[in-house]
Amino acid sequence: MPAARKRPHISSLVIEKFMTEGPKVLFDPKYTSTISLLLWSFEIVINLFVITRVPYTEIDWKAYMQEVGGFLNGTYDYTQLKGDTGPLVYPAGFVYVYSLLFYLTSHGQNIRFAQYIFLVFYLINFMLVARIYQKTMKCPPFVLVFMSLTSYRVHSLFVLRLFNDPLAMLVFYISLNCFIDKKWYLGSFFFSFAVSIKMNVLLFAPGLLVVYLVENGILQTLRNLLICAGLQVALAIPFLATNPQGYLIRSFDLGRQFFHKWTVNWRFLSVEMFADRRFHALLLAAHLTVLILFAAIRWRRNISSLFQLINPKTRWNCGVLSIQPDQLVTVLFTSNFIGMCFSRSLHYQFYIWYYHTIPHLLWSTKYSTPVRLLIFGVIELCWNTYPSTNISSLALHASHALLLIGLWRNNGCVLEPATIEEKPSKDD
């Protein structure tokens, strides 16, 4: 009986395709999945090297374990949950996720095992992001190589710091993949769960609201919003039943002060101006203004077409367009990026909030490839300058401004019938 033929390894197949197809594998978006499979294999090796060779740095893990330890010991009053770094300031989903990690890691003591768990999280996150880029077909595959292999800080945030920011983004990318597949209810569930791990995911919400209305109409939008709100309430029931005011103040504290010494984007400001409430109000006003301008002029044709989305006489049961993956991703990533541009403070772990979105945003502009890579490189350099300096902070703002201007100047609006198939009314 002949011996069974041994199946070649995935990486061998990818290398063989590169040898036969030539450099176009790196430049043709249809090869995105091929390159991502090869990179995924490299990522296993890279992350194992980081875990075993680079010393773990304690920042928040111990405090996380103390915070959820109080919950597991029967404390449901959010104002009483705290760790060495201060009170618990994340929503209820964080408590449940890190409670599971608490048990899996011997009450948080087995840090090496926690690092391996976060290695799995990293690999899942990478494949989710790669699938988004494969679906949008906008960026050449070589961009994934830069995104995967160049950022030491992103690897560090997962396997050396064990922050909740990467977990929140991982769950967000699950939701985005669901939205791409038109699984709106499931996507809304995971989006809300991501928010419950860390509130930064709400920066995607303005773009998502416009997408909901464009694709589904008012009634379906309300159902999706109900799923989002319902999950938040369900997760918070033990805490709301004990001290509802304390839970809402602590877990959704929008006025929380940040320390100037950790800021990446506002280092060039004085401590007094950095903490000034008037400065915060100015940033919020600028954030809302730019969001409205993008929603009314770059995502829709004009302000009247934006208001048309909430006209119950015409759009109650049906949206106006069938949105394609590229348009969906562009709107959500832009919404989040605008929030990053006008953030009161960006700390080093916040890089993960938009790192994997940067290539898509850059290739949504009309800049040349060298300019795109230069902007990406400067952003990466700024986030890897520790501690931040006046120059690195100014350079980060300049890079953000160039990217934002590039997104604004891109011809045409994202959600317009001229570029997307018109969605028929259910009454037709």
Using one digit for the tens of pLDDT, what is the confidence trace for 215-250? 988 999 999 999 999 999 999 999 999 999 999 999
pTM of the model: 0.92
Tell me what pLDDT residue 150 has: 78
DSSP letter at 86? E
Query: Backbone phi, then psi, for 400, in 5-degree steps?
Result: -60, -45
In the chain, % helix, strand, coil (3-state, to 5) comes to 70, 0, 30
d(CA 390, CA 370) in angstroms, rounded, equals: 26
d(CA 153, CA 130) in angstroms, rounded, equals: 19
Rounded to the nearest angstrom, the gap between the alpha carbon of residue 381 and the centroid of all alpha carbons in its chain is 20
List pLDDT tens digits, range 99-142: 999 999 999 999 999 999 999 999 999 999 999 999 999 999 99
Instruction: Tell me which residue has tokens 């350079």.
Output: 395
User: Is 325 strand, coil or helix?
Assistant: helix
Structure tokens at 174: 């699950």
d(CA 416, CA 305) in angstroms, rounded, equals: 10
d(CA 54, CA 11) in angstroms, rounded, equals: 26
Tell me what pLDDT residue 302 has: 72
Q: Which stretches in the chain have pLDDT values below 50?
A: 1, 3-4, 418-422, 424-428
Q: Which of 197, 198, 175 is nearest to 185 (CA)?
A: 175
User: Is 347 strand, coil or helix?
Assistant: coil
Structure tokens at 101: 């990690």
**Which residues, other chains included, contact 248 with Cβ-Cβ below 8 Å and sequence gap of 6+?**
none
List pLDDT tens digits, range 100-110: 999 999 999 99
* Sequence ranges of the domains in the chain: 10-409
Q: Which of 351, 406, 414 is nearest to 379 (CA)?
A: 351
Tell me what pLDDT residue 7 has: 55
Q: Where are the beta strands (DSSP E) in 68-157?
A: 82-83, 86-87
**What is the rounded average pLDDT for all residues in the chain?**
90
- CB count within 10 Å of CB 102 equals 22
Tell me what pLDDT residue 15 has: 56
**Which residues, other chains included, contact 91 with Cβ-Cβ below 8 Å and sequence gap of 6+?**
195, 196, 197, 198, 199, 232, 235, 236, 251, 252
Burial of 157 (0-12, 13-18, 19+ CB in 10 A): buried
Structure tokens at 288: 């809302």
Tell me what pLDDT residue 422 has: 44
Structure tokens at 328: 């969906």
Structure tokens at 414: 């994202």
C-beta of residue 173 within 8 angstroms of C-beta of residue 128: yes
Q: Where are the beta strands (DSSP E) in 248-358?
A: none
